[in-house]
């Protein structure tokens, strides 16, 4: 059994921000706090994103606290650019991320400690910062006939890039940013594309300024305060009507149809008899928070979500969720890491460690 003050689960944007701020309080990485991550390398979920998602296509990636991401080549895959940046960051601040360590369960332990059970042993901690993101829990809705489809079905999480769809008839499901990006990319390669979404997509004219951003975050915040599952950002902001989307609408690539009713061996059908033949169904239907390992703590509300005030789980002040709900963006994750640490150091069980406090230096 390893003892520590704080366990941070996940070394994506949210977990690294939390680790940076823990270090700022004078806590020693690896001793006073540990960061555990089950992925093979640095980069959080970015390391798994498809190669055609270049750094130039990423919207508003915020740098981690204390180190800029300067001079990144917009033509390089964001998976490479951001993984390399996170790697430099972890080294510069000596964060000593342990990987691959899979956290399987967190449960109540003796002496008000939380027991973090992992593939590499158990950690007993006074507090927990959960920064596990959503990438590990792709969401795919169920539709009748799914099991009889003779073609290929895949989720955004396994999207290989547009070339893989050359000559194929592709149905893309989902009205978010990933769905529209997949369509625009693969349409020139595919034999035919069809776009289906549950609700009509909402396109947003004009720049997404700070006021609109704050309003969107407030909407998601209100949901998690009520213990409801968080909604995706696009569901509250709408899709930005940029040049590529305008072109997609004009070309007919982004001509949306309502959700089909059934999947057949050869394609999809609607109740009114319309049908589309398909070789591939690409589910761009989003992700859910990867928080199954927290189940033994029984934090979930009847509404299905965890009630969160700021970043703190209302049912257990030792547990913070960062990168969850309203903080599920790179800027939100940065802020959430700082807020969680500020709150945790005030726990009555937490020894004060202000001696070395200050801005950590990048080595």
Minimum distance between the CB of residue 248 and ligand FAD, rounded to whole angstroms? 17
Task: Residue 38: name the closest of 106, 118, 116 by CA.
Answer: 118
Tell how strand 114-118 and strand 103-108 pair up.
Answer: antiparallel
Secondary structure (3-state) at 240: strand
Task: For ligand FAD, give the closer residue by CB, 12 or 267.
Answer: 12
Least CB distance from residue 215 to ligand FAD, whole Å? 17
The Cα–Cα gap between 142 and 153 comes to 12
Give CA–CA dist 49/39, Å, rounded.
Answer: 13
Cβ distance to ligand FAD smaller for residue 141 or 258 = 141
Least CB distance from residue 82 to ligand FAD, whole Å?
8
Q: Are strands 280-283 and 152-155 parallel, antiparallel or unpaired?
A: parallel
Alpha-carbon span 136 to 350, nearest angstrom = 31
Element (H, E) at 139: none
Residue 74: Cβ within 10 Å count: 11
Shortest CB 57 distance to ligand FAD, Å: 8
Nearer to ligand FAD, 305 or 323 (CB): 323
Write down the least CB distance from residue 224 to ligand FAD, Å: 14
Determine which helix (DSSP H) or strand (DSSP E) holds 218, and give its type and residue range.
helix 210-225
Strand (E) or helix (H) holding 17: helix 13-24
- Give the shortest CB-46-to-ligand FAD separation in angstroms: 6
Distance CA 298, CA 315 (A): 9
Supply the minimum distance, in Å, between the C-beta of residue 7 and ligand FAD.
10
Helix (H, G, I), strand (E, B) or coil at 30: coil
Q: How many CA atoms lie within 13 A of 324 on its CB side?
A: 32
DSSP class of residue 79 equals H
Q: Taking the mean position of all CA atoms in its chain, how far away is CA 80?
A: 17
Q: Which residues of this chain interact with ligand FAD, rule CB under 6 A?
A: 9-15, 36-39, 44-45, 49, 58-61, 102-103, 131-133, 135-136, 178, 290, 293, 323, 328-330, 333
């Amino acid at each position: 059994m390893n003892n520590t003050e704080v366990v941070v689960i996940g070394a994506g944007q949210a977990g690294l921000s939390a680790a940076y701020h823990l270090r700022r309080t004078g806590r020693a990485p690896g001793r006073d706090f540990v960061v555990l991550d089950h992925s093979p390398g640095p980069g959080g979920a970015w390391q798994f994103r498809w190669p055609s998602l270049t750094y130039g296509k990423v919207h508003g990636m915020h740098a981690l606290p204390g180190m800029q991401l300067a001079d990144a080549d917009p033509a390089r895959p964001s998976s490479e650019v951001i993984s390399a940046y996170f790697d430099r960051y972890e080294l510069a601040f000596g964060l000593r991320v342990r990987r691959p360590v899979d956290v399987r369960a967190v449960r109540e332990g003796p002496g008000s400690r939380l027991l973090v059970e992992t593939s590499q042993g158990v950690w007993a901690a006074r507090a927990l910062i959960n920064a596990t993101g959503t990438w590990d829990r792709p969401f795919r809705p169920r539709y009748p006939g799914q099991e009889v489809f003779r073609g290929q079905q895949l989720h955004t999480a396994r999207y290989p890039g547009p070339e893989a769809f050359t000559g194929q008839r592709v149905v893309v499901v989902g009205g978010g940013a990933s769905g529209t990006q997949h369509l625009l990319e693969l349409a020139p390669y595919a034999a035919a594309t069809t776009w289906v979404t549950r609700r009509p997509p909402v396109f947003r004219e004009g720049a997404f300024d700070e006021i609109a951003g704050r309003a969107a975050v407030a909407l998601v915040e209100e949901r998690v305060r009520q213990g409801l599952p968080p909604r995706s950002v696009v569901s509250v902001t709408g899709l930005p009507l940029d040049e590529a989307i305008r072109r997609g609408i004009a070309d007919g690539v982004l001509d949306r149809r309502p959700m089909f009713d059934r999947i057949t061996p050869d394609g999809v059908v609607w109740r009114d008899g319309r049908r589309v033949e398909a070789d591939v169904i690409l589910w761009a239907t989003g992700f859910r928070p990867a928080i199954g390992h927290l189940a033994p703590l029984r934090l979930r509300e009847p509404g299905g979500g965890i009630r969160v005030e700021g970043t703190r789980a209302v049912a257990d002040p030792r547990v913070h969720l960062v990168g969850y709900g309203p903080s599920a963006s790179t800027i939100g994750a940065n802020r959430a890491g700082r807020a969680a640490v500020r709150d945790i150091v005030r726990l009555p069980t937490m020894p004060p460690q202000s001696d070395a406090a200050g801005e950590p230096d990048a080595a």
